A and B are shown apart, each in its own frame.
Chain A
């Protein structure tokens, strides 16, 4: 396990370094003034590597640069936006898992029956429907027509205010969970279908285990293991989805900030946030792999 851990941590460090290189590369594409602000005036005209190291030094000291339009440090904006996005994505992912896991297993067990086709059609439609169209339709029906929920996300500055404003929080969370369910359900169906085909399922049946026991103890448990990986790998995708939902519902989380900054050519904010998301996703994927190795010991040896 320790060899696996060491190798995997080393990989994650390499990925994080590459993420910083990509972000710095994007910074180099942009106008010189933004670069001068982030690499220091002294290094602005030196070689790529020197600039990169100087910038990396600033980042490691917690300086992500200064935003232009709200004249504030990028880190201050980040501290305000991050909790909102975590609330939105956390709630949505939880709901998505609670719906997608049973749906995927039901589909796999009833493969090629009417139930499978019905759920499959639904996930196709969800999958194909862009989340901003879905959100717009939800706003039209539930906010503008029925007046059940608010058309905008919670605007309260505190996180407690966001959580208690369930009327405004419902539609953004619903939109993001529906979009995420589509991704998860397709994955769960194949994960469950794979474990149904495994020899241990046949072996369990041969030993005389009932269908219920086979499903709960063998199929469900084994198809839950890949979910850990799915979660780790979906972080960027879910955050990308959050960007769209936040922009539609005018909910000032990380995605909304990136979007506004992009529209205003406020590059330090876009890149600072991008860096945080990239590093966060790399760490998330590392944790998911460690979790997977704890749950399924075969992985530790297989990737040696």
Chain B
């Protein structure tokens, strides 16, 4: 909000200045601070812009750094901190060192990413090592407290909680990741078009977002899920369709701000077309915002799926997700089977916290970089 206010104020004096600012005595005094800004703004802009191509390269280069697997994906976000492009033949040791340096510079994001990788390994590789039957009912084993044979106890159907946590996590992570990414893409497109084009189209598109945001997401989801049978693809589409709105607002604001920034106006003055301004200066700068937003959107989608399942309107049995496990636990709330809620509750929390840390860490890291702090 304050950024918009400041930026709205900047262009006028800035434009006036090259012409007749000099003769007036009062104006050079006011113009001075504004003059300083374009100079500062130029290097800010150059950094993310140069960093972007590098990010793509680091991503492609990863298979070469086979030793770096888990840390390799950290390297994707490493781009801006490292600087100039990395040749593909760079030796592994130096690349590895760079990754560690980047990871150190963004501890919050690194910890978040490490937790996410560990959770994914647990859910997708765990069941290979730890076999459990999550389809049939074993009433003789129902509601057992944690102990030998069942490290996390069993649920009301006698299914092992640890195994269920792994299988349920697959659905939670798949739906969360797919819906979150889809929502971020939808929202970015909507917001970017709205912000770039402006005028009446912008007004109409943003009123649609306002109307969508006025209705609680949960409520819309409840309506749709009562009409369509909630399978995994349906849930992904429905969650994405209700959560892209916040991204659209964010990206539009970014596009509006960037459009009026000095370095974009400077490009125009120097004779660059608006396509060049958009592709080489606005898009790369908004890209950081979008990447950060993806992790928040995924966190949000994981939570939303859990809410739906908890309300008894999520994915249908025998498929299960973490929210379903909590729903089952709440049915016997008076019996005090605490282990049935602690495990899935902690799992959801851990993933959401990790994603929030990743997003905040990236934002702070990228932000500090571009603000030069």
Chain A residues with a Cβ under 8 A of chain B: 11, 14-16, 18-19, 21-23, 26, 29-30, 124-125, 127-130, 132-133, 136-137, 139-140, 144-145, 151, 194-195, 198, 226, 229, 233, 236-237, 239-240, 243-244, 247-248, 258-259, 262-263, 265, 267, 270-271, 273-274, 277-279, 281-282, 285, 298-299, 302
Q: Which residues of B contact A198 (CB under 8 A)?
A: 2
| Residues of chain B in range 339-359 having any CB-CB distance to chain A below 8 Å | 341, 345, 348-353, 356-357
Pairwise interchain contact B8-A270, C-beta atoms closer than 8 A: no
Given A29-B227, A267-B226, A282-B210, check contact A139 B216 (CB 8 Å): no
Known interface pairs A236-B213, A262-B225; 19 further A-B residue pairs with C-beta atoms within 8 A, sorted by A's residue number: A30-B227, A124-B357, A128-B353, A128-B356, A129-B348, A132-B330, A140-B336, A144-B334, A236-B214, A237-B216, A239-B216, A244-B310, A262-B313, A267-B223, A277-B216, A281-B214, A282-B210, A282-B214, A285-B210
Chain B residues with a Cβ under 8 A of chain A: 1-2, 4-5, 8, 203, 207-208, 210-220, 222-227, 299, 303, 306-307, 310-313, 326, 329-330, 333-334, 336, 338, 341, 345, 348-353, 356-357
Which A-chain residue is minimally distant from B206 (CB atoms)? A11
Given A22-B212, A124-B353, A128-B356, check contact A274 B220 (CB 8 Å): yes
Nearest Cβ on chain B to A67's Cβ, whole angstroms: 14
Which one, A132, A137, A194, A239, contacts B310 given CB within 8 A?
A132
Which A-chain residue is minimally distant from B322 (CB atoms)? A130
Which of B216, B310, B330 has most A Cβ within 10 Å?
B216
Pairwise interchain contact A136-B4, C-beta atoms closer than 8 A: no
Given A132-B307, A247-B311, A263-B312, check contact A281 B5 (CB 8 Å): no
Given A130-B310, A194-B2, A277-B216, check contact A14 B207 (CB 8 Å): yes
Given A19-B215, A285-B214, check contact A274 B329 (CB 8 Å): no
Q: Which residues of A contact B330 (CB under 8 A)?
A: 132, 136, 248
Which one, B203, B214, B349, contacts A278 given CB within 8 A?
B214
Query: How far does the alpha carbon of A153 sit from the alpha carbon of B222 in the complex, in Å?
Result: 22
Query: How far does the alpha carbon of A151 sit from the alpha carbon of B333 in the complex, in Å?
Result: 10
Given A133-B341, A247-B311, A263-B312, check contact A127 B214 (CB 8 Å): no
Pairwise interchain contact B219-A258, C-beta atoms closer than 8 A: yes
Q: Which residues of B contact A265 (CB under 8 A)?
A: 226
Query: How far does the alpha carbon of A18 sit from the alpha carbon of B94 in the complex, in Å?
Result: 56
Nearest Cβ on chain A to B2's Cβ, whole angstroms: 5
Q: Which residues of A contact B222 (CB under 8 A)?
A: 258-259, 262, 270
Which A-chain residue is minimally distant from B207 (CB atoms)? A14
Pairwise interchain contact B353-A127, C-beta atoms closer than 8 A: yes
Q: Which residues of A contact B306 (CB under 8 A)?
A: 130
Q: Which residues of A contact B210 (CB under 8 A)?
A: 11, 15, 18, 282, 285
